[in-house]
Structure formats: structure tokens, C-alpha cells
Amino acid sequence: MADVPFWNREIETAERSRLQELQLQRLKTIVGTGATADDVFQNMMTYGLFTGGLGLHYGAERVGMTVIPIGGGNTKRQIQTMKDFQTTVVHITPSYLLHIHSRMDEDGICRKDLALRKAFIGAEPHSENTRRKLQDLLQIDAYNSYGLSELNGPGVAFECVCKKDMHLWEDSYIAEVIDSQTGEVLRDGQEGELVLTNLVRRAMPTLRYHTRDLAFLYPEGCDCGRTHRRLSRILGRTDDMLIINGVNVFPSQIEEKIMKIPEVATNYQIYIDKKGALDRLTVKVEIYPKLFLGEVAKLEALRNKIREELQASITIAPVVELHEPGSLPVFEGKAKRVVDKRPKD
């Protein structure tokens, strides 16, 4: 195979122009929610390789907002910063915003101490009920957002002030909804897998990318006057990918790590539930009897090792439970290893 350079000046120039177009796309996105240069934007999405952070950061700068690149986590500091900087707009996962609300009392900060008026919520599926709850609790407007790192990140589709699902920027993407079994393109309004073609990328074109996200498109226009078709909420996935506090996790990533550890037997379970507003991931493993030495210190070291290995791989530190050999449910044929107890509201 010929030696293809991973990066060169030509690619860089192409990518720079792409980034400018992306900034414009995100400017349109943010302006569509009624946010302006007078807003203070606290970006609580993780910066780094996850596009949620840097993605909207540049768009918000382009709008002229004051951007606080605080990133994810550290709830106490988030709340204090919202108060100190009189933040008016946050970009956040819906579950984390609920969590922040539940922690405000503890920190002695109430709604009137904050200047918050809008939230861009995304990176995880949520229902209309969750949006209403957030809006009522915090007296704000919350706008749904859709994007994926493979196709430039947040702002592929975004709600406008009308909050009637998300405008998909059809000047940047060709959107199709297909039957994921047959590949047949479905009519607007029919639910299927969203397939996207990117029109703005030059260095890495992406043609008919199968997102694995299930949704449908609204054919009719919107009260705001924009004519791009709107994308429904994401209704599910065609694969087994899990979204845990906004982070995408495949069960196979977890399996790969824990099966490398000799003290763990072959049966395991991935269990997800809610602790307060946040998702909680628990990995249950059976200990391997032949390597059991009867020492608590060794068992706790094993627990920590599993937690650290998984955190390094999937960025989430799970709760690790150690179980007796043969105690986790065994299934005939394909094991059902994922138990998702999060309420489907």
C-alpha cells in the first residue's frame, strides 16, 4: 500500500476552511434559539476529543458570547461559576442539569442568585417530560440538540425558539431515513435509521453515514420560517450502544477489558440505573475460584483494578461488584448481559 500522509498542508488548508464553515453553521444554530452576543455561555461539555466541548465553543465565540470553557464535572464549581459570572446560557446533558439543580440547595444557592435563561441540552436522548421538568424547575428555556462526533459534533440538528424538534441543516447535510434491514429509503414521517452525507467536509468526506440512530423527519415547515426539515427526538439505536451520562459506551468495550483480568470468571453483567438525576453504571463480575486467596486486600485491589481499567477505556468509573462464582444469571445461547433499569419516561 502506498504511503499516504496522515496530515499535510493541503489537508490542513481544507480543514481550516471547513472549520470556518462549521463555525457559521453553529452560529446559525445558537442564534436560532434567541441567544445573542449579550449572553454568558457556560460550556459544561467535556473538551478534548469529544466534540461536544470545542464544537459549540467556537460557534458561541462567533456569536460574540462570553464563553466560559469550564468543561464537564465538578458540580460545586459549576454552580459557583454560574453565580459569579451570572451565566445566562449553559450547554449540558439533561441528566447533569437535573443533578446540578438537586445540588443547588446543598450549596446554599437558589434560583434568584442565578441569571440562567437558556440551556442547550444534548449528548443523550431525553423525553419531552424531562425537558418540561428542567424548564419548570429552573424557569428556563431548554433546547434539544443533535450531533455526532463522526459528523462534526453538536449542531447537526438543533431546536429553534419554537421547540418543535430539531432543524437539520440541509445546506450542510443530506439526510435520509432508511429501513435498517433492507436499506430502503423511507418517506418523511416514517421512523427508521438516520443516514447522513456531509456536504461541508473536504479533507474527509463522509457519504451516507449510517448513524445507527432511530428517528424520523418532519416534512412540513416550522413557525419560525426556516424551511429545512426537522428531525424528531432520537427514539433508539439499531445497535447495542449505551449512552451513559452523555458518553457513548459499547458493551464490547467493557467485556474486552474485564475478560483480560485473570481473577475474573467468564460471566459478568452490565447494570445501569439512576442515582438521583445521574446515570449509574455498575459492572458485576464473578470471581474466579482458582485464583481466590482468601484475602480482602487482594479482592479490593481487584475491584480497583477493574474500575481503573474501565475508566481508562470508557472514561466512566463504574461501581464494581464482586459476586460468587455461578451467581450471576446464565442465559441459554446469547447472554443478556446488559440490564438497563433507567426509567423510560
Partner 1 sequence: MAKQLTIFVENHPGRLKSISENLCKSGIDIRAFTIQDRGDYGLLRLIVDKPNDAYLAMADVGCACALKDILAVSVPDQPGNFHKHASALAENSINVLDAYGFVLQPHNTGVCCMEIDKPQMAKAEEVIKAAGFTVLEDEELYGL
Measured from the Cβ of residue 338, the count of other Cβ atoms closer than 10 Å reads 13
For residue 287, state whether it binds partner 1 (rule: CB under 8 A): yes
Give me the residues paired with residue 91 across strands.
43, 120
For residue 321, state whether it binds partner 1 (rule: CB under 8 A): yes
Nearest to 246 by CA among 75, 93, 59: 93
Q: Which of 137, 241, 299, 335 binds partner 1 (CB under 8 A)?
A: 299
Distance CA 29, CA 204 (A): 23
For residue 324, state whether it binds partner 1 (rule: CB under 8 A): yes
Is 217 within 8 Å of 175 (Cβ atoms)?
Answer: yes
For residue 294, state whether it binds partner 1 (rule: CB under 8 A): yes
For residue 288, state whether it binds partner 1 (rule: CB under 8 A): yes
Is 131 within 8 Å of 144 (Cβ atoms)?
Answer: yes
For residues 99 and 284, which CB has a smaller minimum distance to partner 1 in the complex?
A: 284
Residues, the chain? 345
Is 268 within 8 Å of 321 (Cβ atoms)?
Answer: no
Is 192 within 8 Å of 212 (Cβ atoms)?
Answer: no
The stretch near partner 1 (CB under 8 A) out of 80-88, 147-155, 232-240, 315-323 is: 315-323
Q: Give, as one character, the DSSP assignment of residue 329.
A: -
**Closest separation in Å from C-beta 273 to partner 1:** 15
The stretch near partner 1 (CB under 8 A) out of 36-44, 154-162, 175-183, 321-329 is: 321-329
Nearest to 268 by CA among 253, 287, 249: 287
For residue 326, state whether it binds partner 1 (rule: CB under 8 A): yes
Three-class DSSP category at 48: coil
For residue 261, state whether it binds partner 1 (rule: CB under 8 A): no
Burial readout 38-53 (b: 16 or more C-beta within 10 A, e: otherwise): ebbbbbbbbbeebbbb
Radius of gyration of the chain (CA): 22
The stretch near partner 1 (CB under 8 A) out of 65-73, 249-257, 287-295, 304-312 is: 287-295
For residue 296, state whether it binds partner 1 (rule: CB under 8 A): yes
**Closest separation in Å from C-beta 256 to partner 1:** 24
For residue 1, state whether it binds partner 1 (rule: CB under 8 A): no
For residues 294 and 333, which CB has a smaller minimum distance to partner 1 in the complex?
A: 294
For residues 209 and 288, which CB has a smaller minimum distance to partner 1 in the complex?
A: 288
Three-class DSSP category at 322: strand
For residues 208 and 341, which CB has a smaller minimum distance to partner 1 in the complex?
A: 341
For residues 85 and 271, which CB has a smaller minimum distance to partner 1 in the complex?
A: 271
Q: Which of 1, 207, 293, 330 binds partner 1 (CB under 8 A)?
A: 293
For residue 47, state whether it binds partner 1 (rule: CB under 8 A): no
Count of residues binding partner 1 (CB under 8 A)? 16
For residue 251, state whether it binds partner 1 (rule: CB under 8 A): no
Nearest to 45 by CA among 113, 147, 121: 121
In the complex, which residues of this chain contact partner 1 (CB under 8 A)? 287-289, 292-294, 296, 299-300, 321-327
